[in-house]
Amino acid sequence: MFWPDTISKKLGIQYPVIQAPMFGVSTVQMVAAAAKAGCLGSLAVADLSADQSVQLIRETKKLTDKPFAANIFVHHIPEVTDGLKEKYIKTKQFLEQLARENDIEAELPELEAISINCYHEQIDAIIEENCKILSFTFGNLDDQSIQKLKENGVTLIGTCTSVNEALQLEKSGIDMISVQGIEAGGHRGSFEAENILQIGGLSLLSQVYDHVSVPLIYAGGIYEARTLKAVKDLGAQGFQVGNLLLASQESALQPFEKERLKKVREEEIVLTKSFSGRYARGIKNQFIEAVENSEYILPYPYQNKLTNALRKAAKSLQNPEFVGIWIGQSIHQYSELSTEEILRNLIKECER
């Protein structure tokens, strides 16, 4: 049998293939399509409010009766100090000027108007909505939340980008670990926002496999059978794919963004903090070049909230130079087939 079955049995799915959460790209339709292919769909609720999370969970349940994971951010929220307030004002002024110079009309929020949500509300909502799989990134859950989720029969999937993070997750009683290589598109799952380790996926997976005993899901660079088989040989029992689905029918990316994907060159794929204040891998553009090495990057989530209106305005203008198009290092054809078809084709290719 080609597929390891530890993870699929535990999660109640046919294949141990997981659709990456990809907040802002994935949709409830993508989650349902992944489930239809016998895989695990991941519903990205990120740092939304409890009410918004509940709404998305219920919308997903209308489309599928199969298991899916809710995925949340468990980041540390920096205290609002006088220094942060001052930097926020300067960053806001800089970004507004940058927008004007590029004919983008965007009203950026004042610091007081920003709503910051803590994940603890989402935990209660996820339990109440009877979601039985929770994946998370940007850190580890606190002990009380882990205990509460375990008491309610929720399977927990943490994200690591280093051996040390994997050891912390295992020690906390997390059921499975998603090992994220530096190749992966989108945000780094690192516990720290600064000075992140940049470990290649194959090296990281092999080392984590030697140090922990929980089942491992690998994320980063899987786009066809050969890459999936390579990480299976290194000990992965689950396989997370995101880059493969960016241009799918169910993707939230607009046609101009999908076209930009198809023209990408390897030297254009970079790690940047410019959009959100946390490192993420995407396509270099004018915004990144203007902001990345400047003093105008706030800590996450403040940078993310501040740039959101600018990104929305650029998207409405179909301007790829001021939106974050997250993408991994494995360049491929970016199929526009349905998520179900793309995943079924990957599965068939592996089984040949």
The CATH 3.20.20.70 portion of the chain extends over: 1-77+116-248+337-352
- CB within 8 Å of 90: residues ≥ 6 apart: 295, 296
> Confidence class of residue 30 from pLDDT cuts 50, 70 and 90?
very high
Helix (H, G, I), strand (E, B) or coil at 40: strand
Is the N-terminal amide bond of 301 cis, ω within 30° of 0? yes
For residue 246 the two structure tokens come to 């960016």
Q: What are the Cα distances from residue 311, in Å, to 188, 204, 292?
A: 20, 33, 16
CA atoms within 13 A on the CB side of 59: 15
For the segment 198-213, what is each residue's pLDDT rounded down to a tens digit?
Answer: 999 999 999 999 999 9
Pairwise CA distance, residues 215 & 9, whole Å: 12
> Confidence class of residue 43 from pLDDT cuts 50, 70 and 90?
very high
Reply yes or no on whether the pLDDT at 105 is more than 90: yes
Angle value at C-alpha 137, between 119 and 75, nearest 5 degrees? 50
Averaged over 17-43, what is the pLDDT?
98
Strands (DSSP E) found in the chain: 17-19, 41-46, 68-73, 133-137, 155-160, 176-180, 186-187, 216-219, 238-241, 269-272, 280-283
Which residue type sits at 164?
Answer: N
Model pTM score: 0.97
> Confidence class of residue 122 from pLDDT cuts 50, 70 and 90?
very high
Check residue 28 and give its pLDDT: 98
Reply yes or no on whether the pLDDT at 116 is more than 90: yes
- CB within 8 Å of 255: residues ≥ 6 apart: none
Domain 1-77+116-248+337-352, CATH class in plain words: alpha beta
Percent of the chain past pLDDT 70, that is, above it, reads 100
Reply yes or no on whether the pLDDT at 273 is more than 90: yes
Residue 98's CB is within 10 A of a number of other CB atoms, namely: 19
Averaged over 272-285, what is the pLDDT?
98
Angle value at C-alpha 284, between 282 and 286, nearest 5 degrees? 135
Check residue 1 and give its pLDDT: 79
**What is the chain's mean pLDDT, rounded?**
97
For the segment 293-313, what is each residue's pLDDT rounded down to a tens digit?
Answer: 899 999 999 999 999 999 999
For the segment 216-240, what is each residue's pLDDT rounded down to a tens digit?
Answer: 999 999 999 999 999 999 999 999 9
Percent of the chain past pLDDT 90, that is, above it, reads 97
> Confidence class of residue 47 from pLDDT cuts 50, 70 and 90?
very high
